[in-house]
Amino acid sequence: MANNTSSNNRQVHLLEVIGRIDGSKPLILAGALEKALAQGRSQLILDLSRVEYMNSAGLRELFQLLQYIRKNGGILKIANPAERVKKLLEMVGLDTVIEIYFDSALGLASHPRAGEFAVAREICYYV
């Protein structure tokens, strides 16, 4: 029988990011991800399908968040990046250190214990 802590570790937090990630509002995304980790959601997925723009400051923010999440025992994945964002992630090599999914299942359906995941969804506006 699994204890409550291990059950919480399998909870997924899906964060749909909308707008521009350009470093001008770094606390928005960081705050949302820190809150998810504090609630026991260690599997964090950023849906970037509605991110219209990301610059080097946004990439730096994303990399810093990745480091923070890993340091705190979490996993960060990216789902459905807009084409422009996808190319930027590839250009700087972040696609080699962060798993990126291009389907609506976000890689969860193929997981051996997919039925055990509890997904929480949040929308994060960068406007």
Q: What is the pLDDT of residues 61-114, one digit of tens each?
A: 889 889 999 998 889 999 999 999 999 999 999 999 998 988 655 555 444 444
For residue 38, is it within any domain?
Answer: yes
Full-model pTM: 0.77
In a domain, residue 35? The reply is yes
Q: Provide the domain limits for residue 38.
A: 6-109
Question: Quick check: helix, strand or coil at residue 119?
Answer: strand
Residues 6+ apart with CB under 8 A from 111: 117
Instruction: Considering only CA atoms, give the Rg of the chain.
Output: 14
Residue 77 falls within a domain, yes or no?
yes
CATH code (residue 83)? 3.30.750.24
pLDDT in tens, 26-45: 778 888 888 888 888 888 88
Helix (H/G/I), strand (E/B), else coil: 78: strand
